[in-house]
């Protein structure tokens, strides 16, 4: 799988962003282990806290279609610096996708690659939950 293709899918997905309140468009593209791509954009709600981020949308779309194994996720915004995923999304990426590559893209299409655990060290996980009787 061409990294550029995944990056372009994330950039393209910004066009579907529904962000009338923040006017901050975000697009994401998630790559599965068998090279399928699920895209997502942020969708905002008049009751702001119900908004869903682009990367979480992509992940939940993939899960809803039965996908469970992933290689990487690309996230794009029209920012000067590389887009920085929010804390909630870092938890969701680590929890539902594992230690995958997270490709953060800036407004010029430049990118930087991190591992999920670099973005969320000492993450909470199901390890502890599974130890309970």
Q: Judged by CB, which is closer to ligand THU: 16, or 24? A: 24
Catalytic residue among 55, 67, 128, 133: 55
- Is 114 a binding residue for ligand THU by CB under 6 A? The answer is no
Is 33 one of the catalytic residues? no
Interface with ligand THU, residue 42, by CB under 6 A: yes
* Contacting range for ligand THU; rule: CB under 6 A; set: 6-14, 31-39, 53-61, 109-117: 53-61
Question: Which residue among 11, 29, 38, 44 contacts ligand THU (CB under 6 A)?
Answer: 44
DSSP per-residue codes, the chain: --HHHHHHHHHHHGGG-B-TTT---EEEEEEETTS-EEEEE-B--SSGGG-B-HHHHHHHHHHHTT---EEEEEEEES-SSPP---HHHHHHHHHHH-S-EEEEE-TTS-EEEEEHHHHSTT---HHHHHT--
45 belongs to the binding site for ligand THU (CB under 6 A): no
């Amino acid at each position: 799988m061409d990294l550029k293709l995944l990056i372009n899918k994330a950039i393209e997905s910004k066009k579907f962003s529904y962000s009338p309140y923040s006017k901050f468009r975000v697009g994401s593209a998630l790559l599965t282990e068998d090279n399928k791509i699920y895209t997502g954009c942020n969708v905002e709600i008049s009751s702001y806290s119900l908004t869903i981020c682009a990367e979480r949308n992509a992940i939940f779309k993939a899960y809803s279609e039965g996908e469970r194994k992933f290689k990487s996720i690309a996230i794009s915004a029209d920012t000067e610096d590389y887009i920085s995923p929010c804390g909630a999304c870092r938890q969701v990426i680590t929890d539902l996708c594992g230690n995958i590559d997270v490709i953060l893209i800036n407004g010029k299409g430049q990118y930087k690659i991190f591992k999920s655990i670099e973005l969320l060290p000492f993450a909470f996980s199901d390890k502890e939950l599974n130890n309970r009787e």
